[in-house]
Amino acid sequence: MQASTRPARRRWPPRLGPRQAPHVLLLPFLALFAVFGLFPLGFSLYLAFQSWEPTSGLGAMHFVGLDNFAFALQDEWFWKSLGNTAWLALASGVPQHAVAIPLAVFIHTRFKRLRNAVIGAYFLPYITSTVAIAILFSALFSTEFGLINQGLAVAARLPGLSALLPQQAIDWINRPEHLRPAIALIVFWRYVGFNTVLYLAALQTIPKDLYEAARMDGAGTWAQFRHITLPGIKPMAYFGVTLSVIGGLQLFEEPFVLTNGKGGTDQAGMTAAMYLYRLAFDFNDFGGASAMSWVLCAIVVGLTWATNRAFREKGSA
């Protein structure tokens, strides 16, 4: 009589083959991306063609075609917010790179032992909470007790500066002509260090032999900067400018906190992202806000394409 053999126990969890393992390991990311990425994107596109009162439930949606897009293109507040956004993007973005490039060159050539500490000090505002930064600058821009106005008052007493600086305290938050420069200053202060780190990384990839050969040929500092440094950091400049364009058009947190979410006097600090938020959550027009968000997306894509064209090598396809 033969002894019965015990059935082999199945291994748990089952061993994955080389073909199945990548797909299984990607499933958690794909599931999260579908829920928090693709679904909001698709639902926003669907809402752009609907009129919906969210308090009435999903059944209250009804198709309105292109009416929301027509409303977006005719809305004066939307165009005003786009103008504010463009102004802030230029006023904060251009100085970021104009200061970051020479600052990165200075740190790269002058600092050796303390380079990491200096880089960390400039990079600190970028990793600091945006809300904390906006609250800090709200205190700095205070009309009566802000350090900025006090510093201007002290500087105005110096010989030769009294005619250039205001004699009275500036109302940075409540005056439209001063609110936008204040927001631009906050954005500049926060991101100039980030761009400096980008350009420092690019400078470290330029071979030192190029500078040595240029010096042997009699090239001065400006000639080396123009013909070696700038071409060497051009790919990183393209990356940094693209981030500035996208981030500038999506500006939200700094003006939102500084103006208490209302855009300030005469809506001078109302950016496009802020107006979309208010249109959806203050005025319950989710369809119009979704349509405007896609219009803004088209503008971002167009400007990103224009940036790519501007940095493209001559003669390339």
Predicted confidence (pLDDT) per residue in 123-146, tens digit: 888 988 888 888 888 888 888 888
Hey, which residues does 62 pair with through a beta bridge?
Answer: 51
Question: What was the pLDDT predicted at 104?
Answer: 93
Please check whether residue 125 is in contact with residue 189, taking contact to mean a CB–CB distance below 8 angstroms.
Answer: yes
Where is mean pLDDT largest: 160-164, 212-216, 218-222, 304-308? Answer: 304-308
Task: Let me know if 154 is exposed, middle or buried by CB neighbors in 10 A (0-12, 13-18, 19+).
Answer: exposed
Dist. CA 263–CA 278, nearest whole Å: 10
Please check whether residue 267 is in contact with residue 288, taking contact to mean a CB–CB distance below 8 angstroms.
Answer: no
Average pLDDT, the chain: 87
Which structural domains are found in the chain, ordered by start? Answer: 70-141+178-311 (1.10.3720.10)
Question: What was the pLDDT predicted at 111?
Answer: 83
Question: What was the pLDDT predicted at 264?
Answer: 86
Question: DSSP secondary-structure letter at 62?
Answer: E
Q: Kindly state the helix (H) or strand (E) to which residue 147 belongs, with its residue range.
A: helix 147-156
Please check whether residue 279 is in contact with residue 261, taking contact to mean a CB–CB distance below 8 angstroms.
Answer: no
Average confidence (pLDDT) over 7-24: 70
Question: What was the pLDDT predicted at 5?
Answer: 61
Q: How far is CA 242 from CA 55, 91, 308, 314, in A?
A: 39, 16, 8, 19
Residue range 162-191, pLDDT digits in tens: 777 777 888 888 888 899 999 999 999 999
pLDDT of 310 over the 70 cut: yes
Task: Let me know if 298 is exposed, middle or buried by CB neighbors in 10 A (0-12, 13-18, 19+).
Answer: exposed
Name the one residue in this structure whose structure tokens are 């790519």: 308
pLDDT of 315 over the 70 cut: no
